[in-house]
Amino acid sequence: MTSHDSASAEQNACCNCLSRRRFLQVSSAGAVGLTLADQVGHAGEPEDRIAAATLRPDPHVRVAVAVLRVKPPYWLGWPGTSYDVEGWREKYLQETRRTAAEQHLRLEVADAPLEDDAAVNAFVENLKADAPDGVLVILQHLGVWSWAERIAAAGVPTIVFSPIGTSFTGHIARFSWQQGVYVLSGLDFSAVEQALRMVRAKRMFEESRVLVVSGNQRAESVLECLGTKVRTIPRRVFQEWFERQPVTPEVREVVARVKKAAAKVVEPTDRDFLNAARAYVTAKRLMKAEQANALSMDCLGMVSARVMPTPPCLAWSLLQDQGVTGGCEADLFAAVSLMFSSYVFDKPGFINDPVADTARNELVAAHCVCGTRLNGFDKPAEPFILRTHSESDVGVSIQTLWRAGQPVTLVRFQNPTQLILDTGTVTGNVDTPPAGGCRTSVRIRMDRVDDARDVLGFHQVVFYGNHRREVEAFCQLYGLKVVHSPERHVA
């Protein structure tokens, strides 16, 4: 057992030894604060509603774009004399502009196609003089790959779109594996859209600050490679802000909205709902004050120490559905992994404690925080049930019902430069009871891992879609190392 696992187990045991009634009795400070807030209304504080979307980074992203080709008209050779060179150039540039508008990218498109060494060299010199965040190169001839390699050598992350008819396997066999390069050979332009989303995501990491609420000291640091800022603040700060947070109209509206959307409510009381919504509003206000875009908190420690009457499970789930990371147990790299699914794929991730169901040879991913918009932030939510936090039986937790048959990706940053990557398929959900553990528990049949006991990592982040190749591409673009769980057990 790791030190992190040991600490978590110790916290869990402390939580489990308290009955619900006893917990509410000993959490008198939080309970009294709620009663007073009800009596005095705003308690002298304004109704300063903060839209969660404003906490998500929206960086300036510059992408240089160039079309490479030999000077037409063509005679023989791929893509062929019949290929509408100008028509497809305009089509692909139009698609690129549409994507840029959707993703808020600033395009810097070369005035004309690059058709000779002089034009390519001038483009490269411009990249070196004022480097953008990424380069998109669109090929229109077999004979221009040396130019694409010259552009990539400028050191700017380079996406090369090679429509079928502009490359053989030999053209890409070496170059496509080069760090800082992502070669897309095909006809599906949505792959280019996803590649540009990677460039945007890297800038989002660079413009993000993660707020870690833990311990009793303040500290500042920056994660290498990703460029993400980390601010640690004392645990008591969140507690103090929560105690000052009254039951405002926003708090009551959050409760009403969540109850209305749920398939059903099982354990939570009215007090649980109000405290959970107060935690959500508190989190937004504190993040804004600290200029943070994501947070992770020592939530189990606060509940086990009886300084909070509610864990922030519902609050974190609500943030996740709006593209803002709320991470558990002050686990920084779990939070970074949640940011990864959010920034790169526009989907909420699910941090989990991994359990091996040896009878079924499946992984059970379990936790009490889970978003519901698993298909994407702008897509309909999956059905969910409102429960208490399982280990303490207080507060509000979302039990999201994952769709059987849905492919999923598992990602876990081990450090700023390395991540674990696996994939699988959802086979169903596990209820508590009869099971113990956390409220959202998802069964996953793993790909390329013969035995579920061998799945690597703890607090992996699971999200919809088999994105193995895209995750590997992001890591290749930005110099991250990828590790997979072993396909076969090694004694």
Q: What is the pLDDT averaged over residues 126-134?
A: 98
Q: What is the pLDDT averaged over residues 57-79?
A: 95
pLDDT over 80 at 7, yes or no: no
pLDDT over 80 at 456, yes or no: yes
Q: What is the pLDDT averaged over residues 8-19?
A: 36
| Collapsed DSSP state (helix, strand, coil) of residue 88 | helix
Task: Specify the pTM.
Answer: 0.90
pLDDT over 70 at 262, yes or no: yes
What are the DSSP calls for 320-341, one per residue? HTTT-EEEETT-HHHHHHHHHH
CATH 3.40.50.2300 given to domain 62-204: yes
Domain parsing of the chain, residue ranges:
3-56+208-483, 62-204
Identify the pLDDT of residue 393.
87
Q: What is the pLDDT averaged over residues 331-341?
A: 98
pLDDT band at 32 (very low <50, low <70, confident <90, very high): very low
Higher-pLDDT residue of 295 and 18 is: 295
| H or E stretch at 409 | strand 407-415
Tens of pLDDT, residues 207-228: 999 999 999 999 999 999 999 9
Contact 230, 209 (CB under 8 A): yes
Rama region for 347: left / alpha / beta (φ>0; ψ in -120 to 50; rest): beta
Average pLDDT, the chain: 91
Identify the pLDDT of residue 47.
62
Residues 6+ apart with CB under 8 A from 23: 306, 309, 392, 393, 394
Alpha carbon distance 404, 163 (integer Å): 35
Tens of pLDDT, residues 159-209: 999 999 999 999 999 999 999 999 999 999 999 999 999 999 999 999 999
pLDDT over 50 at 17, yes or no: no
Helices and strands of the chain, counted as H and E runs: 15, 21
Alpha carbon distance 140, 124 (integer Å): 19
